[in-house]
Chains A and B, each alone.
Chain A
Amino acid sequence: MLYRKAPNTHNWYSGYNKVINVEEATEKPKISKVVFVFAVTLAVWLLFTWPFAPVDWATIIAGSIISLISGTILAGVATQHPIKALNPVRYFWAACYVFALAWWVMVANLDVAFRVLHPDVPINPGIVKVKTKLKSDSAKTALANSITLTPGTMTVDLSDEGHLYVHWINISSTEVEEATREVVGRFEWLLRRIFE
């Protein structure tokens, strides 16, 4: 029976409006969110147009208009807590984090290179489950990306209960607590100061 009757579609366009999650869709972006997105986008715009004249008012005004469009359309999606970005302490910890991450990546690089070049190839790969105390999505994303950026470990999945599944080149323990201390511990305390 190859012929199939079309599903009942006669009112799916009109029905579509009812499907919308009203709570999320009708949420108006607050003015602080708009201002934050406007400022960041304007800064990036000035980086785009760097090769133009040092003070070119036409470019700056056009950039302001474009940032305003971008802010009013996307402020509801782009940011959640813009007030946090005003705290200068967070930027200090973020700068610290960049250097710390560079150091850890270098150490992990040397470790993986040692394992690859060793004649016995002492690896013990597998996937471990680790736990994180971080709450916000931004912090979890930064944590997962930092783990992936470090050679030897790679985030595979992120569950809703705050568990990460990490592929690790040399498993020292399959216990959740033990693995958490080894993989997550060094990133977590800095990320909490930056994002939460």
Chain B
Amino acid sequence: MVLIQIFLVFTIIAALIAVEAPSALSSIISLGAVGFGLSIAFLWLGAPDIAITQVVVEILTLVILIRATIGKGVTEIRGNESKTLLIGSLILFGLGSAFFANYLSAFPEFGKSAIDVFSETPSQFYLKFGLEKAGGANVVNDILLDFRAYDTLGEATVLFTAILGAITLLNKDVFFGEGGEK
């Protein structure tokens, strides 16, 4: 448990460096440190599927961000937004933390999931009948592809739409003919 907290503190420090570093390249690399620290934390939290996905996705995110920003005038931009926005956002943040603290008291304490607290949960059903009904030993994949396959279909749709939007943005002129900039 202490190990997990150490990794989370590491990610917080890396995130602060990523936000505050003046150079674009160093802040992107610190963002990579956030992702890789989290993936090790996922491994300790008993989620190897997510650790693998996190590592691989983090690498591709870094490559995309570096290809998009390198050689552009990112580093000259210093300074913050106006003071009024900061004060307003601080007030909103205080309200949000109050709500979060309120709901946190209703959570089961750390280290106990819903399986331990309630007697009948969906997770228990999935764990019990995963091998029997879906046939796979990996219960996470059983949920993804059998019990909740509609989620995966929706996910594929969202990914398709996001990629389509990106491609349309990148070659607008092909879709709208010549002079799409007007």
Q: Taking the complex as a whole, does A directly touch B, i.e. does some CB pair lie under 8 Å apart?
A: yes
Question: For the complex, what is the distance from the CA of A71 to the CA of B178, rounded to whole Å?
Answer: 41
Interface size in chain B (residues, C-beta < 8 A)? 8
Binds B, one of A3-11, A39-47, A55-63: A3-11
> Chain B at the A interface: mostly helix, strand, loop or mixed?
loop
> Chain A at the B interface: mostly helix, strand, loop or mixed?
loop
Question: For the complex, what is the distance from the CA of A5 to the CA of B178, rounded to whole Å?
Answer: 14
Which residues of chain B from 156 to 180 have any CB-CB distance to chain A below 8 Å in the complex?
171, 173-174, 177-180
Number of CB contacts from chain A to chain B under 8 A: 16
A37 nearest CB across to chain B (Å) = 23
Which residues of chain A from 2 to 61 have any CB-CB distance to chain B below 8 Å in the complex?
5-6, 9-13
Which residues of chain B from 25 to 53 have any CB-CB distance to chain A below 8 Å in the complex?
none
User: Can you report 16 residue pairs joining A to B where beta carbons are below 8 Å apart?
Assistant: A5-B181, A6-B181, A9-B171, A9-B173, A10-B173, A10-B177, A10-B178, A10-B179, A10-B180, A11-B173, A11-B178, A12-B171, A12-B173, A13-B171, A13-B173, A13-B174
Question: For the complex, what is the distance from the CA of A12 to the CA of B173, rounded to whole Å?
Answer: 9
**Chain A positions within 8 Å of B173 at CB level:** 9-13
**Chain B positions within 8 Å of A10 at CB level:** 173, 177-180
Question: For the complex, what is the distance from the CA of A179 to the CA of B149, rounded to whole Å?
Answer: 64
**Chain A positions within 8 Å of B181 at CB level:** 5-6
Interface hub of B173, B178, B180 (most chain A Cβ within 10 A): B173
